[in-house]
Chain A
Amino acid sequence: MATAADIGTPTTQAQSQLKSLTGAKAGRLQQFEGHDRWVVLAMLGIPTFLHVALVWIPTVASILLSFTDWKGIRISDIQWVGLRNYEQIFTVFQKSFFQALINNSVLLVFLFIGPTTLGILLAYLLDRDIRGTRFYQGIFFTPVVLSLAVVGFIWKSVIYSTDSGLATQLFGGGHSIDWLGNQSFVIPIGDRFGVSANFLAILVAIAWRHTGYIMVLYLAGLKSVDSSLREAAMLDGSTEWQTFRHVVFPSLKPINVVIVVITVIEALRAFDIIYVLKTPRKTEVLSILTTNNLLGEGGGNVGRGSAYATILFILCFGFVIWYVTNHFRNTQEGADS
């Protein structure tokens, strides 16, 4: 497999040819001559500058600003306050912070046991030569092309409408149900926190979109599984479940890693659907708390907003590093063999 990481370990004929052309300069910018050196610098430099300036520098700035008190007016007003923002988050703002942390965690767990499992199951079923499989795939995938903000609007107006929504008609028995306003805890955690009814309603809408996403990714993975392996296992008398568990699933490790990372990131990123519904009480998540310190009523609190952002960063960065090292290590191994 020819990959990015095989650079520096020339093995193929083409590469040794390349090496003879560039001599000891391989791996350095000096391999390019005159005019070409500037071209390469520009091709790498401009996009990298933009990406670093607008993504990575603000990430570092967020971490630094989380130790300061600043209203965002004058730069000279920035005051170093150490861990005060974090202290406040864990004490004064405990109530919304812990509720948000619980909601993000519940979303994560829910995405795994609900839509992710269902998506994998659907992919597995639709991968057979089932009649009309493209049609079914198309149906399950359609919500994925919609923005979660639109998903929120559609569910709010059609399914969860208090008086005339489909869910109200099905479960209300003639009464109205305030699906998105009901903040009572369905699953209490302690006496002040829990999973609220309206958050569960939002989870269902998120699942509607997430399932198709996972299904398509998994279908792509399944196509790469050697079908003779599966046939052999079935002929040996393995049950459907055993075949999946011991033959198909392990051979899909790369796609499983992708799905884990996507699901974790989606759970931490969740914002659009909650914000577009005007953040019903008890449905706040970390991304909402960060943004509320910028746009909300108490907006312009850069220090505290950045502290929430930093917590978000700490939660996701381990997974990001894991994914990136995993990817580039695999390609390195591929190159060495």
Chain B
Amino acid sequence: MTARATAGARRHRLRPARILLYVMVTLLAFAWLVPIVGAIIASFRPYAETIRAGAFSWPHTLTLDNYRNAWSQGDIPHKYLNTAVILFPALVFTLFFSSMVAFVTSRYSWRFNVLLLSLFTAGNLLPQQIIIQPLFQFYNRVPLPEFLSNSGKLNGSVWGLILIHVAFQSGFCTFVLSNYMKLLPKSLNDAARIDGAGVWKQYWQIILPLTLPALAALATLEFTWIYNDFFWAVVLEQQGADRPITSSLANLGGQFFTDDNLIAAASMFVALPTLIVYLALQRYFIAGLTIGAEKG
């Protein structure tokens, strides 16, 4: 109450400074919107008009042609499907696996707990390019039956991408979830144990339901991260047609999309799912980032 009152008093005293602050932040926010708003406008304009008047001009003609062309030339629906087939299994298994490790290491005393958590945390921080050469060679040597992989190998199959996403992302998720689970009262386990509940029951029926807020936050964040993956898919799925949507940008550029407005429309197709998830689930998104950081 008093804090608010003094803050109010100061606000009066610092009036000009405060106006300056508003002006600065507003100008900066405008600048920040320019690329996205620019891309949205460009994507609805005929390229000829942009060429004539420049991107920084009032749009006179609005058209869906760029979207129509990007959709068919870039084979966007197929690319969305490729993404979904990888994204959802990867997301579920990442959360499932990391919640199991987080549960055991945070709810029981075991001498290798810290070592195990360090391993996961450190693994997640490595740049992906460090492991790509051996990983690629390994994937190339694991045969898969025809009905599981067009290439007949782990390399170039959705399975290879799902596996590396789960392996890599479980580092971050284990770290966050173990931090979260540690804060749940220890007595929960003991009470359950005295009631005769086994380890699995304690995990699945007692701790996991209490971890749902953290899981929801992580799911939102991991959705975006796995969706946004470019590197793994560029290297481990070299068939352009089978690539998920984000990584397909690597070959869409020169091949199909020659004009800037078409590129802008294609970019909007790629950006749209993450923007929707962000706008709908903003709270979870930011919670996911911050439980990771606060405890770190």
Interface 1/0 per residue, A179-222 and B, CB below 8 Å:
00000000000000000000000000000100011001100110
Query: A10 CA to B109 CA in the complex, in Å?
Result: 9
Interface residues of A (CB under 8 A from B): 2-5, 7-8, 10, 12, 14-15, 17-18, 21, 26-29, 31-32, 35-36, 39-40, 43-44, 46-48, 50-59, 61-62, 65, 72, 122, 125-126, 129-130, 136, 138-143, 145-151, 153-159, 161, 163-166, 168-170, 208, 212-213, 216-217, 220-221, 224, 227-228, 231, 234-235, 254-255, 257-258, 261, 265, 268-269, 271-272, 275-276, 278, 286-287, 290-291, 293-295, 302, 305-306, 309-310, 312-313, 316, 319-321, 323-324, 327-328
Known: A143-B36, A170-B56, A278-B254. A290 touches B132 (CB 8 A): yes
B21 with A257: CB separation less than 8 A? no
Contact of B270 among A147, A161, A268 (CB under 8 A): A147
Min Cβ gap A297→B in Å is 14
Question: Which residue of B is nearest A22, CB measured?
Answer: B109
Contact of B32 among A8, A208, A324 (CB under 8 A): A208
Which residues B111-134 have CB closer than 8 A to chain A? 111, 113-114, 116-123, 125-134
Chain B interface size, under 10 / 10 to 19 / 20 to 34 / 35 or more: 35 or more
A153 with B267: CB separation less than 8 A? yes
| A295 contact set on B, CB distance < 8 A | 234-235, 238
- B64 CB within 8 Å of chain A: no
What are 20 A-B contacts defined by CB distance under 8 Å? A4-B117, A31-B108, A48-B101, A48-B116, A50-B97, A58-B133, A72-B140, A149-B228, A150-B249, A153-B253, A154-B271, A158-B260, A169-B54, A212-B32, A213-B289, A257-B296, A268-B127, A290-B132, A305-B133, A309-B131
| B101 contact set on A, CB distance < 8 A | 43-44, 47-48
Min Cβ gap B69→A in Å is 14
Query: A59 CA to B200 CA in the complex, in Å?
Result: 33
| A12 contact set on B, CB distance < 8 A | 186
B199 with A309: CB separation less than 8 A? no
B198 with A153: CB separation less than 8 A? no
Min Cβ gap B204→A in Å is 11
- B176 CB within 8 Å of chain A: no
Contact of A28 among B106, B110, B253, B261 (CB under 8 A): B110
Question: Which residue of A is nearest B261, CB measured?
Answer: A157
Interface residues of B (CB under 8 A from A): 3, 6-7, 10, 21-22, 25, 28-29, 32-36, 38-39, 42, 50-51, 54-56, 97-98, 100-101, 103-106, 108-111, 113-114, 116-123, 125-138, 140, 163-164, 166-168, 170-171, 174, 178-179, 182-183, 185-187, 189-190, 193, 198-200, 203, 224, 227-231, 234-235, 238, 246-247, 249-250, 253-254, 260-261, 263-264, 266-267, 270-271, 274-275, 277-278, 282, 285-286, 289-290, 293-294, 296
Query: A94 CA to B3 CA in the complex, in Å?
Result: 60
The A-B contact count (CB < 8 A) is: 353
Query: A228 CA to B290 CA in the complex, in Å?
Result: 23
A324 with B118: CB separation less than 8 A? yes
